[in-house]
A and B are shown apart, each in its own frame.
Chain A
């Protein structure tokens, strides 16, 4: 892997962390709802966002695999 490809990989990982961060924070919100600190309907919305976040994360990983596939001559271009 050359420097350019490594930079692309780092960017891909950065993008994948974004939905993971949302998932973590939404989980914290659900904990607050269970403790009674925020209304329960916020917990329901947070669960939907967690599901969406998981899908986003999965898409990012798929893009990453496609970007670094040996069949892809322009490694990393699809994850820009």
Chain B
């Protein structure tokens, strides 16, 4: 909070400006003449002075003589006179700024923050955040907005399905926002707790319920009363804890660990997983009865590669955010945005955001150009492909075939190098490829 002195002889302006400055979280005092301003300066210390250039008893510039240099007070001269603008601009030092009437709230906010108005402010405000959270105007996103709009009018539990990094938590927050409910939004990650602790996290515990339970704790169901509870990575929840969750979902009452009293709970449960429906059914990581309780309304969030037209918008938003945080002026060039659209982004929006952040760090902070690496690569993409190949239930032959093709892809089809990497002879590699029907005798 700053202590601000506003010096202006227009009473109507000072009255409304005071309301706005107070809204911005600062304390403000006013003076309508030079004499009054000098009087305040003799009694109080100010962090910032907003000073009209033309006052009834002289120029606002005369007040500068009354300022103590050691106090480092910032001064913003306010002028409605176009010719004065140039003079003030010339004398602007590190502690002197200027504003030209008419003034907006953002102008006041900007000078009181001590930052120059970012030139990209318009671009930031032009990007629509749907439900206050989501960015994207593509057809898959419009469909998503429609589903969010529909389900938010009901109390149904929602299950969000989508790859890692698509923004499941952001969609959960959007559903909460659209629901306009009284309670708060509470998020927790079911994969982050051990079997012993997850009960306490979800349902709370009574004092002395277990070693280390030094006090009573509210569970997330209680915290999200009349609001939204987001259970991330629901399929990573220990299977033997799932009956307890089912009981809460069915009976809408919760009993704290170590407690006996059943307490009614009322919240929408939004759960999320990066497994698809087939995987959930096959891998049996989620009990069927829990699935139907949680996935009353399942929503699949599209991966970024299926909405590439949103990439420029997201990249713009992320760079604007970084510009605001770091007081930089980075700008995308059209050709760079096109390049971003050619990549598949296996890590989805999260990967894009981190990529933009990395690029901003690599770029000259004084300039506007963003330095992009020559190629966009993600080790995550390959790791993900391999890890899906190593699930129980597949035959050794299947996994071997996948490994052979992944190795060949890595070495650009060079069979000798691939065989070396695989630890087999070139002849064995050829035999395998023959068996897969990928080679005929001519190609050997």
Among A10, A17, A37, max chain B CB count under 10 A is at A17
Once the chains bind, are B16 and A22 in contact (CB under 8 Å)?
yes
**Which residues of B are found within 8 Å of A29, using beta-carbon distances?**
16, 19-20
B101-137 with Cβ < 8 A to chain A? 101-105
- The complex places the Cα of A21 from the Cα of B82 at a distance, in Å, of 14
Once the chains bind, are B103 and A18 in contact (CB under 8 Å)?
no
Interface: B13 (CB within 8 A): yes
- The complex places the Cα of A39 from the Cα of B86 at a distance, in Å, of 39
**Which residues of B are found within 8 Å of A13, using beta-carbon distances?**
81-82
Among B10, B13, B16, B102, max chain A CB count under 10 A is at B16
The total of Cβ contacts below 8 Å across the A-B interface reads 58
Interface: A55 (CB within 8 A): no
**Which residues of B are found within 8 Å of A20, using beta-carbon distances?**
101-102
Count of interface residues, chain B, beta-carbon cutoff 8 Å: 18
Interface: B29 (CB within 8 A): no
Once the chains bind, are A25 and B16 in contact (CB under 8 Å)?
yes
Interface: A28 (CB within 8 A): yes
Across the interface, A21 reaches (CB within 8 A) one of B13, B20, B54, namely B13
Once the chains bind, are A14 and B80 in contact (CB under 8 Å)?
yes
Across the interface, A14 reaches (CB within 8 A) one of B20, B81, B102, namely B81
Once the chains bind, are A10 and B81 in contact (CB under 8 Å)?
yes
User: B-facing mask of A1-30, CB < 8 A → 1, else 0?
Assistant: 000000000100110011011111110110
User: Given contacts A37-B23, A38-B19, are A24 and B102 in contact (CB under 8 A)?
Assistant: yes
Interface: A46 (CB within 8 A): yes
**Which residues of B are found within 8 Å of A18, using beta-carbon distances?**
10, 13, 80, 101
- The complex places the Cα of A23 from the Cα of B10 at a distance, in Å, of 13
- The complex places the Cα of A32 from the Cα of B16 at a distance, in Å, of 11
Across the interface, B13 reaches (CB within 8 A) one of A14, A22, A38, A46, namely A22
Among A21, A29, A32, A46, max chain B CB count under 10 A is at A21
User: Given contacts A10-B81, A28-B20, A37-B23, are A21 and B102 in contact (CB under 8 A)?
Assistant: yes
- The complex places the Cα of A37 from the Cα of B104 at a distance, in Å, of 17
B228-267 with Cβ < 8 A to chain A? none
User: B-facing mask of A43-60, CB < 8 A → 1, else 0?
Assistant: 000100100000000000
Across the interface, B104 reaches (CB within 8 A) one of A10, A14, A17, A24, namely A24
Give A36 Cβ to nearest chain B Cβ, in Å.
11
- The complex places the Cα of A38 from the Cα of B21 at a distance, in Å, of 12
**Which residues of B are found within 8 Å of A10, using beta-carbon distances?**
81-83
**Which residues of A are found within 8 Å of B102, using beta-carbon distances?**
17, 20-21, 23-25
Query: Which chain B residues have a beta carbon within 8 Å of chain A's beta carbons?
Result: 10, 12-13, 16-17, 19-20, 23, 54, 80-83, 101-105
5 sample A-B contacts, Cβ–Cβ < 8 Å, listed by A number: A14-B54, A14-B81, A21-B101, A28-B105, A37-B23
Query: Which chain A residues have a beta carbon within 8 Å of chain B's beta carbons?
Result: 10, 13-14, 17-18, 20-26, 28-29, 31-32, 37-38, 42, 46, 49
Known interface pairs A18-B13, A20-B101, A25-B103; 5 further A-B residue pairs with C-beta atoms within 8 A, sorted by A's residue number? A13-B81, A21-B101, A21-B102, A21-B103, A26-B16
